[in-house]
Amino acid sequence: MKNKYLFLIAAACLSIASCASGRNFSAKGTVLNIEYGKDGYTAHMIGNDGKDYDAVISRAKLEKSYRVLEAGEEVELSGDTLHFDNKVRILVRKIN
């Protein structure tokens, strides 16, 4: 039974890793709303290209450049991406 759970965990990790993009991604757009979490928040954004993005903004990743965005703010975000349910999630490394 323990091996079955280890297999499922390993499969999930491989699945998530295969969704990650190796290149640095950048998107410009308008923040729609904010959902606060334990280590930061997720900013829901509509890009200038018309696509919806979820931007994960973490105190740990941004350290001194961490700041809280506001709804309606125009912003450019850069970082790695994950793709879930036909939506792009940006793991933000830089806020412009």
Tell me the pLDDT tens digit for each residue of 46-66. 999 999 999 999 999 999 999
Q: Which is nearest to 31 in space by CA: 82, 60, 69?
A: 69
Question: What Å distances lie between residue 2 and 8, 11, 15, 45, 74, CA to CA?
Answer: 10, 14, 20, 41, 49
Distance in angstroms (rounded) separating the CA atoms of residues 49 and 54:
14
Rounded mean pLDDT, 11-40: 75
Give the pLDDT of residue 65: 93
Is a pLDDT exceeding 80 seen at residue 93? yes
The residues, any chain, with a CB within 8 Å of residue 85's CB and separated by 6 or more, are none
Give the confidence band of 87 by pLDDT, cuts at 50, 70, 90. Answer: confident
CATH code of the domain occupying 2-95? 2.40.50.140
